[in-house]
Amino acid sequence: MELMHANILGEGTPLLILHGFLGMSDNWKTLGRKYADAGFEVHLLDQRNHGRSFWSDAFDYRIMAEDVKRYMDSVGISRAILHGHSMGGKTAMQMACTYPERVAKLLVADIAPKPYPPHHQHIISAIAALEPEDLTTRKDADNALERHIKDWGIRQFLLKSLHWEMPGKLGFRFNLEVLKDSMEVVGDGLPAALQYAGPVLFIKGGNSDYILQGDLEEIRSHFPKAELKTIDGAGHWLHAEKPEEFFRISLQFLNS
């Protein structure tokens, strides 16, 4: 079986970080270095069909949790702190509930264990609409995406996954064909019976509607020790919008 690609920083307590949908481990490099400087061995992981990891038609949270366990086994990590944003948070929740003995703590950024309706279709459609001539320079790709995606931040997030497939031709590192058919799966909720009794911190963006106050009851049905903290003025990409505050709140939990 193929293993997830990882970028490992620092030494100390193992901390595994899982990115969100259409993202990659590079999204967490800056914060990853800060966690490493704070005494953690940081493993920035690319989930399957993303970044530099392998592509596969099989794609769901149970399988992605197995990817994390297999990775831990391969590098000799018996127990780690898991840290996931959005889709990565769902993978981390699944892993913590399935293999609680392997997870020391769980940190989840702006996602709840509930199901979400598919809501990335306009982004997937914009990427699918790109023509070969749109992928000759990063500027051309940005201009083409801007026709459908006005939000500069979302475009920059997507453009981070561009790489040179060959001279003069850019491509995305994520597996668009599989991901566009997996929108229902990405929104899946955590199965009702699953539970993790260890320490858990959920951090939400104050301007994001991914976690609502009414979700706390369901969160604690899966994670009885869960705490919820809010970063005011931040949206769904809270770690990129308010990195210093995110780092401060998360580090306090990681060191507690």
236 is catalytic: yes
Residue tagged active-site, from 86, 182, 208, 250: 86
Please check whether residue 237 is in contact with residue 153, taking contact to mean a CB–CB distance below 8 angstroms: yes
Give the per-residue pLDDT at 22.
95
Residue tagged active-site, from 19, 83, 222, 236: 236
**pLDDT reading at 253 higher than 90:** yes
> Which pair of tokens denotes residue 133?
């001539």
119 is catalytic: no
> What is the widest separation between alpha-carbon atoms in the chain?
53
Bridge-based pairing state of the strands 226-231 and 200-205: parallel
Q: Which of 51-55, 168-172, 214-218 has the lowest mean pLDDT?
A: 168-172
DSSP calls for 23-90: --GGGGHHHHHHHHHTTEEEEEEPPTTSTTSPP-S---HHHHHHHHHHHHHHHT-SSEEEEEETHHHH
More confident residue, 169 or 40: 40
3-state secondary structure 137-168: CHHHHHHHHHCCCCCHHHHHHHHCCEEEEECC
- Distance separating alpha carbons of residues 29 and 65, to the nearest angstrom: 22
Span 117-164, pLDDT tens digits? 988 888 999 999 998 888 999 999 999 999 999 988 889 989 999 999
Closest listed residue to residue 86, CA positions, set 55, 59, 65, 107: 107
pTM, entire model? 0.95
Give the per-residue pLDDT at 40.
98
With cut-offs at 50, 70 and 90, classify the pLDDT of residue 52: very high
- Distance separating alpha carbons of residues 192 and 44, to the nearest angstrom: 29
**pLDDT reading at 242 higher than 90:** yes
Tell me the domains of the chain and their CATH numbers: 6-116+188-254 (3.40.50.1820), 121-180 (no CATH)
